[in-house]
Structures are given as C-alpha cells and as structure tokens.
Amino acid sequence: MVNPMQGECQCGQVKYELTKPAFVAYTCHCRACQKLSSSAFNLCMQVPAEALAISQGNAASRVRVADSGNELTSWFCTACGSALFAQNSARPRIRTLYAGTLDNPESVEVSAHIWVKRKLPWIILPQEHRIFEGAGDWTEDYADDMSRYKPEG
C-alpha cells in the first residue's frame, strides 16, 4: 500500500485522501454492510482518523446505533449516495474507510473476514486469512498503538 491514497464517491463530487497506512483491511459480511454496500460484503479498512481528510466536496453524515450500543456515524455523498467512511463512538481516533471507494482498491491487503456467519454461501475465503464468525478482534493490528483501539484501557 503506497501513501497517500486517494478515493472518491461514484459520481466524483466528493474526494478524499489518506496519508497513513491502514491498521487492518478486511471484508465485513454483516447484514448492515450488505445493505450499506447493496452487495455481498463491504471492503473495510481501519485507518488513523487524523490521516483521512476530504479533499473536495462535502460529505453528509448520518448516525445509527449498532447492536453494541455504540453510535456509528457514516459519511456519504449526497449527490450519488456512495458511503465513504464511518466512525464508531467508542473509537474516535479510528475511521473505517469503505475501501471500495479507493482509486486503487487492488492495492489493499486484505487479511481478515468478519461476520462470516452471515457470509453468502458461494463466497470462498482464503484459509490463510483470519476468519471471524462475528466481530473481528484487532488487538494484534493495534499492538503499536493500543490506546487507539481500546481508548478506555
């Protein structure tokens, strides 16, 4: 992965830049991500909040309450509806970037898959990747920066 990376919504009105490497990249097969992406799974990348900035246009945000009780804020283009990234209220220094919006999504090194119990049956996952039936555990990915992942200790 070469930084900075750029991405944009489907119509191109909103563009963003990512200036630091991701902590982890994974696919999420939960129902919320299937609905959000209107597809089989969502390609996600957890990145440092301060390294992600909108470089053109304005993204709108909406908030939903996750099963965990945390508030998930997601940002999207009001013109075309593409969802770009999100923030979990429990981890304010992390953004979850929806990596399908990157200009070069092929450069994302996916290493894990979460909510696999909701995975559509025809998707075959690489067995050398980390596979989680439910939520992912990213403790090892944040080993150098644990306060970001577990702000309350």
Residues lying near Zn ion in the complex (CB under 5 A) = 9, 11, 13, 28, 30, 33, 77, 79-80
Contact 70/89 with Cβ under 8 angstroms? yes
| Nearest distance in Å: CB 74, Zn ion | 11
Q: Of the two residues 16 and 149, which places its CB atom closer to Zn ion in the complex?
A: 16
Q: Which is nearer to Zn ion, 81 or 151 (CB)?
A: 81
**Helix, strand, coil percentages in the chain from 3-state DSSP, rounded to 5:** 20, 35, 45
| CA distance linking residue 33 with residue 64, whole number of Å | 13
C-alpha closest to that of 131 among 110, 109, 111, 113: 113
Q: Is the Cβ of residue 28 or residue 116 nearer to Zn ion in the bound state? A: 28
**CA dihedral sign of residues 134, 28, 109, 60:** negative
CB closer to Zn ion out of 14 and 52: 14
CB of 81 to Zn ion, least distance (A): 7
Shortest separation between residue 133's beta carbon and Zn ion, angstroms: 13
Cα 14 to chain centroid, rounded? 17
Nearer to Zn ion, 31 or 153 (CB): 31
- Paired sense of beta strands 130-131 and 112-114, if any: parallel
Q: How far is the CB of 129 from Zn ion (least distance, A)?
A: 16
For 40, which DSSP code?
S
Closest distance between Zn ion and the C-beta of residue 150, in Å? 20
